[in-house]
A and B are shown apart, each in its own frame.
Chain A
Amino acid sequence: MKSFSDWIRQPGLLNAVPVGLFLLVGFAGPLVLVLLYSFMPPKTFTLNQVPTVENYLSVVTQSYYISFGWSLMLAVITVALLLVITYPIAYGMTKLFNRWATLITILVALPLLISENIRLFGWVLLLLKNGVIDGSLQYLLGVSLSGLLYTVPAVVLGLVYVYLPFMLFPLVIGMSMVPDSLKEAASDLGASRLQIFWEVELPLSMPGILIGSLLVFILSLGSLAESKILGGQVIVMIADDIESAFTFAQNWPKGSVLSVLLITLSLVIIFFLFRNIDLDRLVGRR
């Protein structure tokens, strides 16, 4: 018991108590509740029923695989597009821009402080019939491009737009960990540019690529506003289904089952992420 009393008296642990308690009540509590509700009979609002796996069975047999499929597919597409879009920028920020890199970091981060809704609404104005893009084309070329909004590509555009910083910053950190001397050495030994990219740069910046990709993947997977604002009714993503189960359908157990599935998937990815990063090094730069 002595070791326990030593452990409990550590100053670090004492300082961790307020945040720890808060997250226990506000984060762990609700999640456990959702898990418990997922085993209650459909359309019940109390926990004192006989546990059942009925909801899990009905979710599997019903057409929820469609919204899961859409979410997974759009998340994968978003990750792939963002890798291609941000890789050259990350390269520029670590190797070319020098002091301008800080300014670019700030400029990319600033929109994160503006409500996602407002920024997505900006895209509505751009893509709308007679909007900025359609209107300009009509004005300049006389052609109309009116069917841009409320399409699947518009949703992808929204996801790419909103989650761009979450891919760029991990890439920059990952790439800044590749020493220039290694590339020079490879070049001295006669490697071509393409070889240097495939054999040196890409493998060594892999941690950053992995972290960025997984981050964007889970964020896109759980997204709600993009498909609602830019997609209209064209597709239903999983977060959308969860919302309607809880609100319109008033079926808490079913919403809970869908949440549990999404949460489990997200948590698996997050734990995988954590295994691959050293926070002291990443945050403290030690």
Chain B
Amino acid sequence: MKSMLQRKVVRALIVVWTLTVLLFLYMPMMAVVMASFTKQRYFRFPVNAWDTRWYEKAFESLSVRDLFWTSFSVALLVTILSVVLAFFGALAFARYDWKGRKMYQRIILLPIFFPQAVLGLALLLWFSSLGITTSWHTAVFAHMIWILPIVTLIMSIQVYSFDPVWEEAAYDLGASRLQVLREITLPILSPGIISGAVFAFLLSWGNFPLSLFTTGADQTIPEWLYSKMVSGYTPMVPTLGSLTMGGAAGFLLIAFLIVLAVRRLRAGKPD
């Protein structure tokens, strides 16, 4: 009986510990949202006056609009380009057995674990040596060095569960290459493609170390936040921080709803 009790206590402790760590993970983000609604210029706790004026200012500000569009354009381009390239990359990663594949799998993963700030600086050196002026376009390129491998990896998970027999059957029935791609390969791989796209967008949207050195005169939201945190603090920091988090959450929600809708459509359509 004693060991039963012991086991229960250990179990309870682990549950409590896990919940504590989860709280630890979300506490800073809650603090940012809370700070964005305070009235004082400098954050104090407990908060005694709430206000939404920093949100009003953020929505009116033209420079905030610029920051938003830069971040959005970078993330959108990174998503589209990464998904297209990673589609082929994932097929090479998981679908085909070829000489050199093991080597390729490892090379693909290298950039993911590489120190991003150093990669950003190396790219800065690279661009200026090639005579390319850095702007948000070069940031798209820089983000992709890190994000393309991640998207490839995510899509590969889907590709592993893909049975090539479906493609072969379609070919046997006289389908063309394009038809097979459109009717068989893409639909089966679509969950992987969607999750890859979601990750690509959000990782680019929030990226800081690569943007810092490769956007030139342009600025993304995470860069702006960093510059204001380090010097010249303004109460707009928690507000814009909350807005970017809200944007990410909204994006995730929309992606989730799209996946649900597609699933429902497919289920309703007789094959």
Contacts and interface: CB of A to CB of B under 8 A. Distances in A.
Interface stretch (A9-17, A49-57, A178-186): A9-17
B77 interface: no
B118 interface: yes
22 contacts: A13-B98, A19-B85, A26-B141, A29-B126, A97-B18, A114-B244, A117-B208, A118-B222, A131-B44, A215-B113, A218-B115, A219-B115, A225-B226, A228-B230, A229-B229, A239-B115, A242-B117, A252-B125, A263-B118, A273-B113, A279-B105, A284-B94
A23 B108 contact: yes
Interface in B1-57: 11, 13-15, 17-18, 21-22, 24-32, 34-35, 43-46
Q: Which of B17, B28, B86, B238 has the most CB of A within 10 A?
A: B28
Interface string B156-175: 11001100000000000000
Contacts of B115: 218-219, 221-223, 239, 262-263, 266
B45 A132 contact: yes
B45 to A, nearest CB: 3
B45 A117 contact: no
Contacts of A124: 229
Given A30-B119, A115-B206, A222-B115, A270 B110 contact: yes
A114 B110 contact: no
Given A12-B95, A29-B126, A117 B222 contact: yes
A88 B14 contact: yes
Q: Which of A11, A91, A256 has the most CB of B within 10 A?
A: A11
A23 B95 contact: no
Given A117-B229, A229-B229, A128 B43 contact: yes
Contact of B100 (A13, A27, A219, A270): A13
A274 B27 CA distance: 35
Interface string B100-111: 111011111111
Interface string A89-107: 1011000110000001001
Given A114-B245, A263-B118, A34 B125 contact: yes
B208 A115 contact: yes
Nearest to B90: A15
B243 to A, nearest CB: 10
Given A108-B25, A283-B156, A92 B88 contact: no
Interface residues of A, number: 90
A30 B89 contact: no
Contacts of B105: 279
B85 A229 contact: no
B142 to A, nearest CB: 8
A119 B124 CA distance: 26
Nearest to B145: A26
A67 interface: no
The 10 closest A-B pairs by CB, nearest first: A222-B115, A122-B28, A12-B96, A12-B98, A135-B45, A284-B160, A115-B206, A19-B89, A16-B92, A30-B122
